[in-house]
Amino acid sequence: MSTADTSATRLPDNAYVPLAPGATYQPVVPASATPPESTARSVIIGLVLCVIFTVASAYSGLKVGQVMEASIPISILAIGLARMFSRRSSLLENVILTNIGGTSGSIVAGAIFTLPALYILQLNPHPLQSVFICLAGGCLGVLFLIPLRRYFVKDTHGQLPFPEATAITEVLVTGERGGSQARLLIEATLLAGVYDFFVTTFQVWKEYVNLRFVPAVDMLAEKARMVVSFDAVAFILGLGYVMGLRSCMILCAGGVLSNFVLVPLIWMIGGGISDAPVYPGTIPIAQMGAEQIFRGYVRFIGVGAIATAGIFGILKSLRVVAASFSIAAKTFSGSHAASTERTDTDLPFAQMLMGVVAFTLAIAAFFSMLSSSLLHIVLGVALTLGFSFFFASVAANAIATTARNPVSGMTMLTIIVSSIVLLRFGVSGQSGMFFVMAIAGMVCTSLSMSGQTITDLKTGYWLGSTPATQQRVKFMGVIAASVAAGLTIVLLAQVFQFGEAAPGDSRVVLASPQASIMKALVEGFMSQQPVAYALFGVGAMVAVIMEMLGVPPLVFALGMYLPLELNLPTLVGGALAHFINKRSESGGEPTRHYRERGIIIASGFMAGGALGGVFGAALRLFPWYRDDLVQTPFYANEPVSQTVSLVLFVALCAHLWWHSLHRKLA
């Protein structure tokens, strides 16, 4: 396909739906074509953007707990930068650029969850240790995802929604095509970008709607701890549309169980205990609000459900993983022909195996600096490799289904299990805390990177990239982002305090909310406080029940773990997708493009919302920023402000509906 032939750039009709019997998927760029992919242009620009977004994300994540989502904004930048050269960048060059640049968010997510905790605990890691934790975790995340690539990307074609990959794909394809398709995407992107930027950055109207100004709703919240909250932003609306109705309903069902069953139940049982907290809570349940009960108790149930659902997922994929390794082993020995199709070629098995062995030895050397005991070193390596491999499947499944990676829950589980194991074998105190946080840092970065990698590979699958090339350049992004993230945190630690102010230290505090949680958790375990096994066990039983009922347990468990305000708007988007798709299927040729237009608009909402969030997070880095720089007269008036938010959210829904059904495209 000529790079100049953009009029023919269109996703096949079966890109997002299960294949008919005997049918195969033909990507935008066919396997027989060999357009430019990993060129100096795409790699260098990708690395530059990766470093920029890594530094910005690390600072904003530590300051306000918000990591800048990089892949969607970078895909939009790729479209704009493609027009700056005499030879316009090819579609697959833009894929590579986005793949490399998008690595930044994944590495930063792993880094800010764990590395600042080491400084809060006054363990002060060496800069090389910080960089290595990010590097080892990131590379393991890519390596362990490779054998799962065919299953998640190709074998389950049309069965998983891949919301973020869909948005990136639509941005790249629509930008390549131009015309009315591009105008529709740009309009949706600008609308969502402006909307989400103002509502999340300034005091214009309430982002969260809870209707507590209605007396009956407020009484329900006070008497039964049942609170309904709704994040009325364009990004989540678009996310729900791409996820589809069924996935959204299962996700919300988990949220309903957590918020309308478990929270009131814990309140009813524990509300009479007014003089002492019940572990793992830190204050008496009688003094807790719904949000505190959810975070203090119910989220641990969600963690147990996610972990059990992950076990089911890895058991189901064992056959696929074993088959992938079997084929790779036969290829390595010369007894089996490897796939010769460009779009279905992974890195050679020998290279993947060498990479795993090399990082196993490097991790062992790292742990040898923390302990001279061979047993402790072996335990550290085994826990790191075991959790990283196990969570690769969990992360891929979560991202493919909901575009949300349960990073915090899985990192908490890693800390809990690692602490229990290491304590049993005599690792404790400050060295034990460093040991556990190093394991958690590598695992957290690994699972975050696995989720990002599966998104990139799915995007490449739809568009026709070479998987081996994508995997190869991903390591370049990991190296650049690891160095940038590790050194940025080291430099920030010299200027700021993380978590909370220490007596006598006048430095400004960066809240580091995620790392503060992990620090409290590892400190509690290493001081041998009791473990909330009952809560984890309840979550495990919920996942078992969902599996027995044939409901995807991981999606349900994610709904239990995530705040309800993030789940409910997806249900609105999923319902819109359902009804628009029904109209698309029922009217013959005149309605054939309804679904396509809906996907483009929803992808624009996701892209614009991500950009708005990036700009808003960037503003928070400046000392002159205040959220009341832009403030409407009615912002503090809850009834008016929340009503305006609801009306405007309905207007976003109407925009999506109207332009999907009535907008004509070239």
Q: Give the list of residues 6+ apart from residue 404 with CB closer than 8 angstroms, or none.
A: 398, 558, 562
pLDDT tens digits for range 244-290: 898 889 989 999 999 899 999 998 888 777 677 877 777 888 888 88
Between 229-233, 480-484, 614-618, the lowest mean confidence (pLDDT) is in 614-618
Mean pLDDT taken over the chain: 81
Nearest Cα to Cα of residue 553 among 561, 564, 444: 561
Average pLDDT over residues 522-540: 75
Average pLDDT over residues 602-620: 74
Average pLDDT over residues 368-390: 87
Residue 136 confidence (pLDDT):
93
Which of the four pLDDT bands, split at 50, 70 and 90, describes residue 382?
very high
Between 55-59, 229-233, 490-494, the lowest mean confidence (pLDDT) is in 55-59
Average pLDDT over residues 593-617: 76
pLDDT of residue 176 exceeding 90: no
Q: Determine the Cα–Cα distance for residues 639 and 642; give it in Å rounded to an integer.
A: 6
Q: Give the three-state DSSP class for 34.
A: coil
Between 140-154, 218-232, 328-342, 625-639, the lowest mean confidence (pLDDT) is in 328-342
pLDDT of residue 609 exceeding 70: yes
User: Between residues 70 and 236, which one has the greater pLDDT?
Assistant: 236
In the numeric block, which tokens belong to residue 161? Answer: 């929604």
656 Cα distance to chain centroid: 24
Percent of the chain clearing pLDDT 90 (strictly above):
18
pLDDT tens digits for range 563-591: 888 788 889 999 998 998 888 777 665 56
pLDDT of residue 478 exceeding 90: yes
Verdict on whether the full-model pTM lies above 0.75: no
pLDDT of residue 126 exceeding 80: yes
Cite the beta strand spans of 426-544 per DSSP E. 497-498, 509-510
Residue 6 confidence (pLDDT):
42
Q: Write the DSSP string, 259-294.
A: IIIIHHHHHHHHTT--SS--TT-SS-GGG--HHHHI
15 Cα distance to chain centroid: 23
pLDDT of residue 611 exceeding 80: no
Residue 499 confidence (pLDDT):
67
Residue 66 confidence (pLDDT):
55
pLDDT of residue 350 exceeding 50: yes
Residue 73 confidence (pLDDT):
73
pLDDT of residue 156 exceeding 70: yes
User: Between residues 580 and 411, which one has the greater pLDDT?
Assistant: 580
The Cβ of residue 337 has, within 10 Å, a number of other Cβ atoms equal to 9
pLDDT of residue 485 exceeding 80: yes
Average pLDDT over residues 166-171: 83
Average pLDDT over residues 100-114: 84
Percent of the chain clearing pLDDT 70 (strictly above):
84
Which of the four pLDDT bands, split at 50, 70 and 90, describes residue 529?
low
User: Between residues 104 and 607, which one has the greater pLDDT?
Assistant: 104
pLDDT of residue 337 exceeding 60: no
Q: Determine the Cα–Cα distance for residues 605 and 610; give it in Å rounded to an integer.
A: 8
pLDDT of residue 544 exceeding 70: yes
Residue 7 confidence (pLDDT):
41
Q: Write the DSSP string, 96-125.
A: HHHHHHTHHHHHHHHHHHHHHHHHHTT---
Q: Give the three-state DSSP class for 510.
A: strand
